[in-house]
Amino acid sequence: MLAALSVFVLSLLLTRFVSLSSIVAAMTLAVVSFFRAPARLHAGLAVFVAIAVIWKHRSNIQRLWHGTEPRLWSNKKA
């Protein structure tokens, strides 16, 4: 969890995209859990959560792709 939180904060500071940071953090949690989880069930749940996060951010991913996703701490409208 600490790795995912660290990646989220770092990604947010670098990109200022909350949605992208959430996706990257969820993927980090899944990868780290796959290698470090005490039980495969925990890793499976982490992968499920990552897939759910990506699914819920479909519209954000489209806006990121098209360059219209708003950034955090930005005065401009996208």
Q: What is the 3-state secondary structure (H, E, C) of 11-65?
A: HHHHHCCHHHHHHHHHHHHHHHHHHHCCCHHHHHHHHHHHHHHHHHCHHHHHHHH
Domain assignment of residue 40, yes or no: yes
pTM of the full structure: 0.83
Domain assignment of residue 37, yes or no: yes
Domain assignment of residue 60, yes or no: yes
d(CA 74, CA 78): 9
If one counts the domains in the chain, the total is: 1
Domain assignment of residue 76, yes or no: no
Show the domain range for 27: 2-66
pLDDT at residue 42, rounded to an integer: 86
% of the chain beyond a pLDDT of 70: 94
Query: Which residue has 């899944």 as its token pair?
Result: 30
Read off the pLDDT band of 1 (50, 70, 90).
confident
Domain assignment of residue 74, yes or no: no
Domain assignment of residue 58, yes or no: yes
